[in-house]
Amino acid sequence: MIDKTSTNHRQNATPTYGVAFSLYLYVMKAGLENVNENRKTMTKKDCKPHFDLQVKEREISEAIVRAMVKQNSMTVGMPTTRTVAKHLGMKAPELYKLLRKEGVLTKDEYGYWFCPRYDNMGLGLMRYFIYFDGDGDQCLKQYPVWTEKGVELIKEMIHEQRAN
């Protein structure tokens, strides 16, 4: 199923981000998470712009959550990698390792992503979740859920791996 004669598809595998996650990254890079630090140096005349910044921050945060909820609602009933691995007699880390080795998924600090080569093939969608770490900071992770086409690709990969 995977063309191993083409250019090495494992190199330069940059993740393609979903809309909600791209918006989240933009907000974090814009520095809006540092509003508390800016409050320390504010004067009275700075209150109006600061209030506007808080409103914009809240609006952006709500837009991110709405986009994630919408994306997650589209993934209801789709099997996770753990479920697929369980049905194939494997453990999820083993399957993730195989999918990364074959260039289907890549991993970064935010979780697993479809590599660009497989991103628009209809193999699955991303499911997002927000949690708070021990320091109380908001964190975002995402992981793939699979369509029937994606599950078939995984089965073919497993069959090829076991045949070799």
143 and 84 part of one domain? yes
Alpha-carbon radius of gyration of the chain: 20
pLDDT in tens, 37-89: 555 555 555 545 555 667 777 788 788 878 888 888 888 899 999 999 999 99
Residues 82 and 160 in one domain: yes
Closest CA to 122 of 150, 87, 84: 150
Structural domains in the chain (count) = 2
- What pLDDT, on a 0 to 100 scale, did the predictor assign at position 23? 60
Give, as one character, the DSSP assignment of residue 79: P
- Predicted pLDDT of residue 33: 47
Residue 11 lies in a domain: no
Q: If pLDDT is split at 50, 70 and 90, which confidence band does 14 have?
A: very low
Percent pLDDT > 90 in the chain is: 28
Please report the pLDDT score of residue 58 as a whole number. 78
Does residue 161 share a domain with residue 95? Answer: yes
Whether 137 and 111 map to the same domain: the answer is yes
Q: 139 with 129: CB under 8 angstroms?
A: no
4 occurs within a structural domain: no
Verify that 137 and 87 share a domain, yes or no.
yes
Same domain, 145 and 121: yes
Range of the domain at 61: 16-73
Kindly give, in sequence order, each residue whose CB lies less than 8 Å from that of residue 91, ignoring residues fewer than 6 positions away.
85
Contact status, residue 142 vs residue 112, Cβ threshold 8 Å: yes
Among 73, 90, 118, residue at a domain's last position: 73
DSSP per-residue string spanning 14-59: -----HHHHHHHHHHHHTGGGHHHHHTT--GGGHHHHHHHHHHHHH
